[in-house]
Each structure stands twice: as structure tokens, then as C-alpha cells.
């Protein structure tokens, strides 16, 4: 039987999540309660036992309402496929015209494809040397979740958007893993430093030079940095023509399809 999670199910859902995904109880609880909200958690039940779970996190894209499929886990591909169909059907009744996802591996990508999902939201990954420039100034860790949503809308409006409350959960997770946000009037970037390299998981800016200044400011802050590895949306104009294209997300339309060839999705609380 497929149904919405009830409050009495939470302990079983958290236990299943931890055993299947290897996350901490705190992370799982945050995902269920704050990222999705208990009213957006779907479960499969067999013999009075929760055997699969999936979250339908509300998102928007191009002014349309949809869902982000997250945390899909459980035993048995038939059960997962049934839960996926049930989730999409119920969300459609709530007004969601599409469902997006970031598959956790080839097996899940194949399952999603069988259920009508198609590849979308490709990324581009590139490397750059970072020059030393004492004159490149920027702010650090001053961007709130609400501001980040506004900046994404400003720099690439064709973006899968979370609400500020849900983006706050994502930011909290990023910070807990050591992320830093560098920002200026011309753009922003979110990066992790590992040894002499800055790994930018998201960067948006007015132009290439504005992005370079952000990297230079980050180099001055981190001191021992020589290069950056930057991930941007495949359709973004930053460093156009550079880098390697990578698969990232998928989408299923349960309403009228629309063009997502230049759409961007990132920072979706991937664990």
C-alpha cells in the first residue's frame, strides 16, 4: 500500500532512511521535517512495515509548480517504481506539473528512465588557474538563504528554485561540510577548499572577469590556493566553450511539457 507518511511512521521512516542511505538520524530528520515537510513524505507499506520512502519537495521552475524527488529508498525495484508513480500522481493532484530528480547512481537513473524521466540540467566542469590579486575584494559567508534565492533569480532565472526555508536547510548542510560563500555586487560562488584547490559547486556572475575576481578574492582568503575547479550549468555563459559536459538531473512531466534545454538545477541537498 502506498500512502502519505503519518506522524506515527516517523521512527520507522528515519530508521529505513539511515539503513538504506547511510545518513545520520539528524540529517534524515532534517530532510523529512524541514526540507520536504511531513506532508510531502510518501511511504510504501507491506505487512504493517514501512518498506520504502520518497520525498516530494516543492520547487518552482519557469513560474511553474513542481516537485523534487528526494531520498527514494527501499527494497525491491517494483515497490520503488510503484511508490514513484503514486508520488507523481498525488503531486499532480496538488498542482505539480513536473518532477525533477538527481539519480544517486546508474541503477536509480535506469529506474527513473523507465518511469518516464528524461535527462536534463546537464552541468559543465572546468579548471582554471587562480591569479594572485590583492585588489580583488569580496564578502564571505554573508549571503542568507533568502538572498541566495534572489541571486539565482537574478543571474539565471531559469533555475529550479527551492523556497528560502528549504534553501536554508541546504545551506546548513553545505556549511556543516565546510563550504564558503564568496560574493560581490557582480556575482557569487560557493566553494570547498581541498589542499591548493577551490572546488566551486555553484558560481554565477555577470561575466568571466567578475567570476575571476571572486576566485582571486577567495585565493587571498585561503592563502595556499593555486587553482579552481568550477561547476556551472551547461547552458550558462560563464567561461563559454570551456570544460566537460556532465549529466546531472532528470525530469518527468505530468502536466504540459515545456522547454528545459537551458534550465539549471544544483544544490539539491545531495548527501
pLDDT in tens, 25-51: 999 999 999 999 999 999 999 999 999
Percent of the chain with pLDDT over 90: 91
| Distance, CA of 47 to CA of 25 (rounded, Å) | 24
Cell of residue 170, nine digits: 541546504
Indicate whether this model's pTM tops 0.85.
yes
- 264: DSSP letter: B
pLDDT, tens only, 100-144: 999 999 999 999 999 999 999 999 999 999 987 766 677 888 999
The mean of the pLDDT values for the chain is 95
131 against 61, higher pLDDT:
61
Percent of the chain with pLDDT over 70: 98
- Give the model's pLDDT for residue 132: 76
Q: Which residues contact 150 (CB under 8 A, 6 or more apart)?
A: none
The mean pLDDT value for 69-78 works out to 93
**For residue 70, what pLDDT is reported?**
97
C-alpha cell at 215: 576566485
Amino acid at each position: 500500500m502506498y500512502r502519505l507518511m503519518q506522524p506515527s511512521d516517523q521512527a520507522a521512516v528515519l530508521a529505513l532512511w539511515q539503513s538504506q542511505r547511510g545518513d545520520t538520524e539528524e540529517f534524515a530528520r532534517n530532510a523529512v521535517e524541514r526540507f520536504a515537510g511531513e506532508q510531502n513524505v510518501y511511504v510504501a507499506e507491506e505487512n504493517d512495515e514501512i518498506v520504502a520512502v520518497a520525498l516530494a519537495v516543492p520547487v518552482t521552475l519557469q513560474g511553474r509548480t513542481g516537485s523534487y524527488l528526494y531520498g527514494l529508498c527501499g527494497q525491491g525495484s517494483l515497490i520503488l517504481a510503484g511508490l514513484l508513480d503514486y508520488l507523481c500522481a498525488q503531486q499532480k493532484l496538488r498542482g505539480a506539473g513536473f518532477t525533477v530528480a538527481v539519480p544517486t547512481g546508474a541503477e536509480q537513473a535506469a529506474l527513473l528512465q523507465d518511469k518516464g524521466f528524461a535527462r536534463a540540467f546537464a552541468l559543465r566542469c572546468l579548471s582554471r588557474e587562480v591569479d594572485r590579486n590583492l585588489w580583488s575584494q569580496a564578502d564571505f559567508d554573508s549571503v542568507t538563504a533568502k538572498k541566495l534565492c534572489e541571486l539565482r533569480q537574478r543571474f539565471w532565472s531559469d533555475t529550479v528554485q527551492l523556497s528560502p526555508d528549504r534553501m536554508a536547510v541546504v545551506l546548513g548542510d553545505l556549511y556543516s561540510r565546510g563550504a564558503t560563500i564568496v560574493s560581490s555586487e557582480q556575482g557569487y560562488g560557493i566553494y570547498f577548499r581541498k589542499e591548493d584547490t577551490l572546488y566551486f559547486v555553484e558560481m554565477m556572475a555577470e561575466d568571466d572577469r567578475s567570476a575571476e575576481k571572486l576566485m582571486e578574492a577567495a585565493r587571498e582568503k585561503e592563502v595556499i590556493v593555486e587553482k579552481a575547479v568550477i561547476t556551472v550549468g551547461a547552458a550558462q555563459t560563464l567561461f563559454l566553450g570551456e570544460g566537460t559536459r556532465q549529466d546531472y538531473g532528470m525530469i518527468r512531466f505530468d502536466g504540459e511539457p515545456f522547454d528545459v534545454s537551458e534550465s539549471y538545477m544544483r544544490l539539491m541537498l545531495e548527501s
